[in-house]
């Protein structure tokens, strides 16, 4: 055997192609070898931007002596969790059951030849440290256990199979029992865990949880929940001031290692930034907050500048490390800042980023965050407060120009369908509410790429890299693309997007649903047979595919007048409502879908001269709550029957709920009043 990863398209797998470990991809050949040789599998799951994955690779996988033990005792398989979220979901769940601890990356799992895990962990050091065994010692003990305790492993596997099967079970609550109690319980639970000083939930490490923030903003705007609004606003403010947001180049890192959002884990993931872009744009309009708009603009600029492929889709992630060190690209010394900015701006720069005190990164450097209000900083350095914003912009530009000359973090240059769906949705939503047609156009170009390169006419593929699309699509691919299409149709109606939305919705229901059982599986009905066919409603690092699918199907069903889409969404809520009622936390995406089931979205159809309709739509986007759908159809005749309202030589707006529509409104003031303005 030899290392077989050189021919893979995943950048993460190719990073390990030169290891002395005989890595294999997860495929029929590797699994057959394990069965033929009756050898356990050492499964290592990670991703290219993962700092601790790099650490374990350098310490163990690049070491010839360690590799010899791995190759002799195990069939070694490497998996990119971003390409194979199905495997990651299964084995993270199994790890939690086996160890009683939450997982993470790298995930290190030992499997029987049939793929059942019997021992697991995450990062292991080369020698014993911090209560963790040394990796080689662990390898030899696991191999000895496999040889000498086979009966106990078989018994454990039987119990594990049963426990895993339970995770895919769903309920069936009649819609007559649906109410807002789970939504209120979720908001109350978040309020109990809310950090009143720094925003967010709980203590360090602190994640943005955009799905929860989206639920809170939805409840504030649609139900008048003042505490929900206050939690969102403070969290977005503190994140915007903190180091989790890149104060120079825009975009958000994955999480903060402290409760103050000050020092992040420096990797930047596309999947965080799409939802956060939409949130900041909506919050900017909701509270007329310029800082939120600036964050949205900087985040969109980062995505379009640094993450966009030549074809207009979006790459996956930027590494936490550069030159072998986490955060090296992003941090500053005081002398480096002084050298980068104009002499007249130095005192302001040091004060605004808190560099007059002790370093906040590894005792020798600073990661930049806004430590004080700008007018306070201006007062300290004798600057006219009216000049503070312009001075900060000048300082940021000077520092960014210097930083751009540093060795950049690694780029994961694969295109993931699901993550592109999240960014397309974020750009379309932000572009619509902030009046940025260029963002909408960029979102359309990216959707064109998905349709042309990742849709084969019947199904979505999950990943594109090196000019090659591959891997059967997952629920998230369909759900996130469908939600992005619904948003694009409101930003700028294109018939090809409407047709694509119908195709994606139909494929989602057919391939991921199950007759007689609600909710959607994570893998399609023709997917590779694995240890488990997952089905869950919880949000994780990404929003729940079931939650996003339920809401998008509801929206599309109301928009196009298709009862089967509404039925599928109701079935999804039937499946998970019992779990949401029993333990409300972690279901943010499904709670939004439930809220819009209980109070169905209004549909506003604008007909008349296209330019006038577009102008009304732009104003409505800033005014309407998140549960209102607005489509500007002008005088076009290629629209679905449900939207084919009469056309006159002036704008008419039809405001509809279900099959009932108000009389057409031809006065903007009246429509604004109807929308709540």
CATH code of residue 150: 3.40.30.10
User: Do 284 and 425 sit in the same domain of this protein?
Assistant: yes
On the question of pLDDT at 673 being above 90, the answer is: yes
**Measured between alpha carbons, how far is 325 from 94 in angstroms, rounded to an integer?**
32
Side by side, which strands form the sheet with 628-634? Answer: 628-634, 602-607, 652-657, 660-661
Q: Kindly state the helix (H) or strand (E) to which residue 606 belongs, with its residue range.
A: strand 602-607
Write the secondary structure of 8-22 as one string of H (helix), E (strand) and C (coil): CCCHHHHHCCCCCCC
Nearest to 549 by CA among 522, 577, 529: 522
pLDDT in tens, 106-124: 999 999 999 999 999 999 9
**Burial (0-12, 13-18, 19+ Cβ within 10 Å), 267:** buried
What is the average per-residue pLDDT within 656-669?
Answer: 92
Lowest-confidence region among 10-14, 56-60, 243-247, 513-517: 513-517
Q: Do residues 419 and 543 touch, judged by C-beta distance below 8 A? A: no
DSSP class of 201: B
pLDDT of res. 153: 95
Determine the Cα–Cα distance for residues 549 and 562; give it in Å rounded to an integer.
15
User: Is the preceding omega at residue 106 within 30 degrees of 0, hence cis?
Assistant: yes
Backbone angles phi, psi at 660, to 5 degrees: -100, 130
> Residue 427: is its pLDDT beyond 80?
yes
Task: Give the mean pLDDT of 648-661.
Answer: 92
Rounding to the nearest 10 degrees, give the CA dihedral for residues 364, 370, 374, 380: -20
- Contact (CB, 8 A) for 541 and 49: no
Tell me whether residue 1 is in a domain.
no
Query: Do 375 and 495 fall within a single domain?
Result: no
Q: What's the burial of 438, exposed, middle or buried (CB within 10 Å: 0-12/13-18/19+)?
A: exposed
Which parts of 149-180 fold into alpha helices (H)? 150-167
Tokens read off for 351: 């004060």
* Cα torsion 255, 257, 261, 267: sign: negative
**Which pLDDT does position 658 carry in this prediction?**
82
What is the DSSP code (8-state) at residue 115? S
Residues 31 and 126 occupy one common structural domain = yes
Domain boundary pick from 140, 167, 194: 167
User: In degrees, to the nearest 5, what angle opens at C-alpha 307 toward C-alphas 301 and 309?
Assistant: 120
Q: Report the number of secondary-structure helices (H) and strands (E) in the chain.
A: 25, 19
Cβ count near 72 (within 10 Å)? 12
Q: Are strands 411-412 and 461-465 parallel, antiparallel or unpaired?
A: unpaired
Do 379 and 442 lie in one domain? The reply is no
- The mean pLDDT value for 32-41 works out to 97
pLDDT at 46: 97
**DSSP tag of 528:** P
**Residue 635's closest CA among 661, 610, 666?**
610
Predicted confidence at residue 371, as pLDDT, reads: 87
- Please give the residue range of the domain that contains residue 449: 183-322+412-598
Phi, psi of 337 (to 5 degrees): -65, -45
| pLDDT over threshold 90, residue 608 | yes
How many domains are contained in the chain? 4
Tokens representing residue 619 in the block: 């104003």
Tokens found for residue 508: 């989602």
What's the whole-number mean pLDDT along residues 547-553? 98
Single out the residue of 281, 309, 614, 272 nearest to residue 431, CA to CA. Answer: 281
pLDDT in tens, 185-222: 999 999 999 999 999 999 999 999 999 999 999 999 99
Sheet holding 117-121, edge to edge: 24-25, 75-80, 41-46, 107-111, 117-121
Helix axes 417-434, 437-453, angle to 10 degrees: 160
312 with 432, same domain? Answer: yes
Confidence (pLDDT) at 356: 87
Domain stop point among 405, 427, 457: 405
3-state class (DSSP) for residue 317: strand
4 part of a folded domain:
no
Strands, E, within 562-601: which ranges?
none
Is residue 497 domain-resident?
A: yes
pLDDT tens digit sequence for 483-513: 999 999 999 999 999 999 999 999 999 999 9
Q: How confident is the model at residue 515 (pLDDT cuts 50, 70, 90)?
A: confident
How far is 403 from 390, CA to CA, in rounded Å? 20
283: domain CATH number is 1.50.10.10
Residues 544 and 456 in one domain: yes
Locate tokens 């064109």: which residue?
448
The answer to whether residue 5 sits within a structural domain is: no
CA distance 561 to 171: 28
- pLDDT tier at 516 (50, 70, 90 boundaries)? confident
Which pLDDT band, with edges at 50, 70 and 90, does 675 fall under?
Answer: very high
Q: Which residues pair with 109 in a beta bridge?
A: 43, 120
Q: Round to whole Å and give the CA distance between 502 and 510.
A: 12
**344 and 315 in a common domain:** no
Closest to 349 in 3D by CA, of 380, 311, 305:
380
pLDDT in tens, 349-400: 999 999 988 999 999 999 999 988 999 999 999 999 999 999 999 999 999 9
Distance, CA of 340 to CA of 355 (rounded, Å) = 14
Residues 199, 317: one domain? yes
How far is 5 from 415, CA to CA, in rounded Å? 19
Q: What is the DSSP string of 398-429?
A: HHHHHHTTSPPPPEE--EEHHHHHHHHHHHHH
Mean pLDDT, the chain, integer: 96
Helix then strand then coil, % of the chain, to nearest 5: 50, 15, 35
Tell me what percent of the residues of the chain surpass a pLDDT of 70: 100
278 found inside a domain: yes
- Of residues 514 and 262, more confidence is placed in 262
Quick check: is 48 in a domain? Answer: yes
* Tokens at 155, concatenated: 């018994």
Same domain, 536 and 586: yes
Q: How far apart are CA 401 and CA 375, in angstroms?
A: 25
Q: How confident is the model at residue 317 (pLDDT cuts 50, 70, 90)?
A: very high
What would the mean pLDDT of 506-532 be, rounded to a whole number?
Answer: 95
Secondary structure element (H or E) that encloses residue 453, with its range: helix 437-453
In sequence order, what are the beta bridge partners of 602? Answer: 628
- Percent residues over pLDDT 90 in the chain: 96
The tokens of 153 are what? Answer: 């492993």
In a domain, 136, yes or no: yes
CB 172 within 8 A of CB 574: yes
What b/e sequence results for 106-121 when a residue is b if at least 16 CB atoms lie within 10 Å of its CB, and e otherwise? bbbbbbbbebbbbbbb
Peptide bond before 205: cis, by omega within 30 degrees of 0? Answer: yes
| Beta pairing class for 468-472 and 461-465 | antiparallel
Bridge partners (DSSP) listed for residue 45: 79, 107
**Of 598, 624, 639, which residue is a domain's last?**
598
Query: Strand pairing partners for 314?
Result: 308
pLDDT-based confidence at residue 130 (cuts at 50, 70, 90): confident
Same domain, 479 and 422: yes
Task: Tell me whether residue 15 is in a domain.
Answer: yes
Residues 394 and 446 in one domain: no
Rounded Cα distance between 198 and 178, Å, is 34
In the three-class reduction of DSSP (H, G, I as helix; E, B as strand; rest coil), residue 436 is classed as coil
Quote the distance between the C-alpha of residue 258 and its chain's center: 21
| pLDDT exceeds 90 at position 676 | no
End-to-end, the C-alpha distance of the chain in Å comes to 69
- Could you give the CA distance from residue 376 to residue 379 in angstroms, rounded to a whole number? 5
- Does one domain contain both 368 and 426? no
Q: Answer whether 245's CB lies under 8 Å from 295's CB.
A: yes
């Amino acid at each position: 055997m030899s290392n077989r990863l050189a021919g893979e398209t995943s950048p993460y797998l190719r990073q390990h192609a030169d290891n002395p470990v005989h890595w294999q991809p997860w495929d029929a050949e590797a699994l057959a070898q394990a069965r033929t040789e009756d050898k356990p599998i050492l499964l290592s799951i990670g991703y290219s931007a993962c700092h601790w994955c790099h650490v374990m690779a350098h310490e163990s996988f690049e070491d010839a002596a360690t590799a010899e033990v791995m190759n002799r005792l195990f069939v070694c398989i490497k998996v990119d969790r971003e390409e194979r979220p199905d495997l990651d979901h299964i084995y993270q769940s199994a790890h939690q059951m086996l160890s009683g601890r939450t997982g993470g990356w790298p995930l290190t799992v030992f499997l029987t030849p049939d793929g059942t895990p019997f021992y697991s962990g995450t990062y292991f050091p080369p020698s014993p440290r911090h209560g963790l065994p040394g990796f080689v010692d662990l390898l030899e003990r696991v191999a000895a256990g496999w040889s000498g305790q086979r009966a106990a492993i078989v018994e454990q596997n039987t119990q594990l199979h049963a426990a895993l099967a339970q995770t895919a079970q769903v309920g069936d609550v009649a819609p007559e029992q649906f109410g807002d109690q789970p939504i209120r319980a979720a908001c109350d639970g978040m309020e109990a865990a809310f950090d009143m000083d720094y925003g967010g939930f709980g203590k360090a490490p602190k994640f943005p949880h955009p799905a929860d923030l989206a639920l809170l903003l939805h409840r504030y705007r649609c139900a008048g929940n003042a505490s929900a609004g206050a939690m969102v606003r403070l969290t977005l403010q503190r994140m915007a001031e903190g180091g989790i947001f890149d104060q120079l180049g825009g975009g958000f890192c994955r999480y903060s290692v402290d409760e103050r959002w000050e020092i992040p884990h420096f990797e930047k993931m596309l999947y965080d930034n799409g939802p956060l872009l939409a949130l900041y744009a909506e919050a900017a309009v909701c509270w007329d907050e310029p800082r939120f708009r600036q964050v949205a603009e900087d985040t969109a600029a980062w995505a379009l500048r640094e993450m966009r492929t030549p074809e207009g889709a979006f790459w996956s992630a930027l590494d936490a490390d550069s030159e072998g060190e986490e955060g090296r690209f992003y941090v500053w010394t005081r002398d480096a800042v002084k050298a980068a900015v104009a002499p007249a701006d130095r005192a302001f720069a040091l004060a605004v980023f808190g560099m007059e005190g002790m370093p906040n990164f590894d005792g020798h450097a600073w990661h930049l965050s806004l430590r004080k209000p700008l007018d306070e900083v201006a007062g300290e350095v004798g600057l006219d407060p009216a000049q503070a914003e312009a001075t900060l912009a000048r300082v940021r530009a000077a520092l960014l120009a210097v930083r751009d000359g540093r060795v950049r973090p690694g780029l994961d240059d694969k295109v993931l369908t699901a993550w592109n769906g999240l960014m397309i949705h974020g750009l379309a939503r932000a572009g619509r509410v902030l009046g940025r047609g260029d963002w909408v156009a960029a979102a359309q170009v990216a959707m064109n790429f998905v349709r042309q390169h990742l849709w084969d006419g019947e199904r979505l593929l999950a990943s594109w890299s090196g000019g090659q699309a591959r891997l059967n699509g997952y629920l998230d691919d369909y759900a996130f693309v469908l939600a992005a299409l619904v948003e694009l149709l409101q930003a700028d109606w294109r018939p090809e997007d409407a047709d694509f939305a119908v195709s994606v919705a139909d494929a989602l229901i057919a391939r991921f649903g199950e007759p007689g059982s609600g909710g959607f599986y994570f893998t399609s009905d023709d997917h590779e047979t694995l240890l488990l066919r997952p089905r869950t409603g919880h949000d994780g690092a990404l929003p729940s595919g079931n939650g996003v699918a339920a809401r998008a199907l509801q929206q599309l069903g109301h928009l196009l007048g298709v009862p089967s889409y509404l039925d599928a969404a109701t079935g999804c809520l039937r499946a998970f409502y019992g779990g949401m009622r029993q333990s409300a936390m972690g279901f943010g995406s499904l709670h939004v879908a439930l809220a819009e089931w209980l109070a169905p979205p209004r549909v506003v159809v604008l007909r008349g001269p296209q330019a006038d309709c577009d102008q009304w739509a732009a104003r409505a986007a800033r005014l309407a709550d998140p549960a209102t759908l607005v489509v500007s159809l002008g005088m076009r005749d290629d629209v679905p029957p449900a939207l084919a309202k009469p056309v006159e030589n002036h704008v008419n707006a039809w405001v509809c709920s279900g099959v009932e529509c108000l009389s057409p409104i031809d006065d903007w003031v009246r429509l604004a009043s109807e929308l709540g303005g």
